[in-house]
């Protein structure tokens, strides 16, 4: 199944625009893409006419040239006929925004749409979905531009059965500085399903990490999904709904999915090295870490801090999440002591966690992180940076980022999320070092590197 035209279309037709209702989903989609995205967009309505000075075509066959992608936002009962017209016109792919299919008991209507598209070789996303955000090509979310939050373009693909959950993920990605390669709301997934998207994104050069919000699968599909995800060369992160009996009922009423046995599914994910997030905050933290470091670690962590209390909290969190903080021997401690400023040599602790104290300066952190980056018994370094320490400058993020670029040992930074510290945070981000805004999130990131199995 070739999905390229879903994500990188040159031309797009929006079927179902209204000449009287500017807030109609089709109008929102047409207006936000026209002149704002790279795709060339055409409006279609069976009555024809004009919309904001643009011609409205009566039928997709009247649209000039090849149509790569069709967005369908008509009433549900019209969709099968519209799909037939798309196939006859030679359109490449589709997104069915319309609801009123299996989620409302109209499985017959959904089956009819899938049969027409399958026979015509016309892959579509949906129905009952927001569709696709694929910068800089298109944005089919029927959310006005002034209300949607768009993350920077980046390396994380977001896939969700729920459009609302997907928008929440985009908001959190923007807040955490996590760039997105594409965001896909698959809704009822009548044709294009999670497995198809694993195959597409596994070959997409712009994607490094794939995340899924999953509500349920068809019979036996869960096993196929886990197998496909386990074989994918890129990290995959899953957040699953329908873990409880009440959640299972909610899933079925939302997208007509079967939630299945969660315990079995979760166990299978762990066996295949697929990272499971328990909530959306973990999902974003995991995605940020794995987009920077797609490999896996054994889980031996060094903790470097300017505050003993933060170091103790981090060690506790590491223990709770299956990570080890191995102590350093006397020789290593002596070598570290020789490399730091004379003012802290006798007051700092070098056992691991390494507490450089509140008197430390940039050079102390840089020397210690470079030393640890060269040790074979350490897989990952968590640097707990407190920008309010008097000897710390806003250049430290860039300096530590350069250490990672030179040594290639994963480093995870903790910096309080306050706007005045942005220059420090930016230095890490520009060098592909993930930044957590709580000690617990920093540990979550390291945990993701351990739980992901790279092949």
Sign of CA dihedral 222, 165, 432, 324: negative
pLDDT, tens digit, 9 for 90 and up, residues 222-246: 999 999 999 999 999 999 997 745 5
Give the pLDDT score at 270. 87
Give the pLDDT score at 454. 60
Average pLDDT of 315-321? 97
Please indicate, yes or no, whether the overall pTM of this predicted structure exceeds 0.75: yes
Q: Is the pLDDT of residue 191 over 60?
A: yes
CA-to-CA distance for 375 and 365, rounded, in angstroms? 16
Give the pLDDT score at 247. 44
Give the DSSP letter string of 273-330. TPEEPSSHHHHHHHHHHHHH--S----BEEEEES-HHHHHHHHHHHHHTT-B-PPP-H
pLDDT band at 251 (very low <50, low <70, confident <90, very high): very low
| 81 contact partners, CB below 8 Å, separation of at least 6 | none
| 300 contact partners, CB below 8 Å, separation of at least 6 | 323, 324, 325, 326, 377, 378, 379, 380
Residue 383: closest CA among 314, 331, 329, 295: 314
Cis status, amide bond into 428, omega within 30 of 0: no
pLDDT, tens digit, 9 for 90 and up, residues 90-112: 999 999 999 999 999 999 999 99
Q: Is the pLDDT of residue 284 over 50?
A: yes
| 231 contact partners, CB below 8 Å, separation of at least 6 | 455
The beta strands (E) that lie in 312-378 are given as 354-355
CA-to-CA distance for 38 and 12, rounded, in angstroms? 10
Q: Is the pLDDT of residue 455 over 60?
A: no
Average pLDDT along the chain: 93
Give the pLDDT score at 246. 54
Average pLDDT of 394-400? 96
Sign of CA dihedral 427, 432, 436, 440: negative
Q: Is the pLDDT of residue 30 over 90?
A: yes
Instruction: Tell how strand 380-384 and strand 411-414 pair up.
Output: parallel
Q: Is the pLDDT of residue 258 over 60?
A: no
pLDDT band at 196 (very low <50, low <70, confident <90, very high): very high
Give the pLDDT score at 245. 53
Average pLDDT of 340-365? 97
Percent of the chain with pLDDT over 90: 85
CA 352 to chain centre: 33
Structure tokens, 169: 């993920």
Domains, the chain:
1-125 (3.40.50.720), 149-292 (3.40.50.261), 296-451 (3.40.50.261)
Q: Is the pLDDT of residue 35 over 90?
A: no
């Amino acid at each position: 199944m070739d999905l390229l035209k879903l994500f990188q279309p040159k031309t797009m037709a929006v079927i179902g625009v209204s000449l009287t209702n500017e807030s109609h989903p089709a109008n929102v989609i047409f207006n936000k893409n026209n002149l704002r995205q790279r795709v060339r967009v055409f409006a279609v309505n069976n009555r024809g006419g004009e919309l904001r000075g643009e011609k409205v075509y009566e039928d997709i066959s009247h649209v000039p040239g090849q149509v790569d992608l069709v967005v369908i936002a008509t009433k549900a009962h019209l969709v099968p006929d519209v799909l037939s017209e798309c196939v006859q016109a030679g359109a490449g792919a589709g997104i069915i925004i319309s609801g009123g299919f299996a989620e409302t008991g109209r499985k017959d209507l959904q089956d009819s749409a899938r049969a027409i598209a399958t026979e015509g070789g016309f892959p579509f996303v949906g129905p009952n979905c927001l569709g696709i955000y694929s910068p800089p090509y298109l944005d089919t979310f029927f959310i006005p531009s002034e209300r949607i939050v768009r993350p920077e373009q980046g390396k994380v693909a977001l896939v969700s059965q729920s459009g609302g959950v997907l928008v929440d993920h985009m908001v959190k990605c923007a807040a955490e500085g996590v760039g997105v390669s594409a965001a896909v709301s698959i809704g009822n997934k009548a044709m294009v399903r999670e497995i198809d998207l694993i195959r597409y994104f596994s070959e997409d050069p712009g994607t490094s990490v794939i995340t899924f919000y999953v509500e349920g699968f068809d019979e036996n599909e869960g096993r196929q999904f886990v197998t496909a995800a386990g074989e994918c060369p890129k990290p995959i992160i899953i957040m699953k709904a329908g873990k409880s009996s009440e959640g299972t009922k909610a899933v079925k009423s939302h997208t007509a999915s079967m939630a299945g046995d969660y315990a079995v599914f979760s166990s299978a994910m762990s066996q295949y090295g697929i990272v499971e997030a328990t909530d959306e905050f973990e999902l974003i933290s995991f995605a940020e870490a794995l987009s920077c470091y797609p490999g896996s670690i054994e889980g031996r962590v060094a903790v470097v801090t300017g505050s003993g209390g933060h170091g103790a909290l981090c060690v506790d969190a590491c223990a709770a999440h299956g990570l080890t903080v191995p102590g350093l021997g006397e020789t290593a401690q002596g070598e570290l002591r020789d490399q730091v400023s004379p003012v802290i040599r006798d007051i700092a602790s070098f056992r691991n966690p390494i507490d450089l104290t509140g008197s430390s300066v940039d050079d102390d952190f840089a020397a210690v992180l470079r030393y640890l980056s060269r040790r074979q018994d350490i897989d990952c370094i968590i640097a707990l940076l407190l920008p309010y320490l008097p000897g710390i400058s806003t250049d430290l993020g860039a300096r530590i980022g350069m250490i990672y670029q030179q040594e290639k040992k994963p480093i995870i930074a903790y910096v309080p999320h306050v706007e005045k510290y942005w220059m420090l945070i930016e230095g890490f981000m520009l060098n592909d070092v993930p930044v957590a805004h709580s000690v617990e999130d920093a540990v979550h990131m390291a945990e993701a590197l351990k739980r992901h199995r790279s092949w």
